[in-house]
Amino acid sequence: MSKSRINLGKRGEDIATTYLKKKGFEIIIRNYRQKSGEVDIIASDKGALVFIEVKTRTSTLFGQPFEAVTTRKQTQLSRIALDYMTRNKILEQEARFDVISILLPANGKAEIVHLQNCF
Strand 26-34 to 95-103 pairing:
unpaired
pLDDT the model gives residue 71: 96
* Distance separating alpha carbons of residues 29 and 37, to the nearest angstrom: 15
Quote the distance between the C-alpha of residue 57 and its chain's center: 14
Percent of the chain whose predicted confidence (pLDDT) is above 70: 98
* Distance separating alpha carbons of residues 41 and 51, to the nearest angstrom: 6
Mean pLDDT of 75-93: 96
Domain count within the chain: 1
CATH number of the domain residue 34 falls in: 3.40.1350.10
Average pLDDT, the chain: 94
In the chain, where does DSSP find H-type helix?
A: 3-22, 71-87
pLDDT the model gives residue 26: 98
pLDDT the model gives residue 111: 95
Q: Do the Cβ atoms of 16 and 102 come closer than 8 Å?
A: yes
pLDDT the model gives residue 1: 63
Query: Using one digit for the tens of pLDDT, what is the confidence trace for 26-73?
Result: 999 999 999 989 999 999 999 999 999 999 999 988 999 999 999 999
Instruction: Please check the confidence at residue 2 and state whether its pLDDT lies above 90.
Output: no
pLDDT the model gives residue 10: 93
CA nearest to 66, candidates 40, 46, 86, 87: 40
pLDDT the model gives residue 107: 79
Structural domain of residue 37, as residue ranges?
3-115
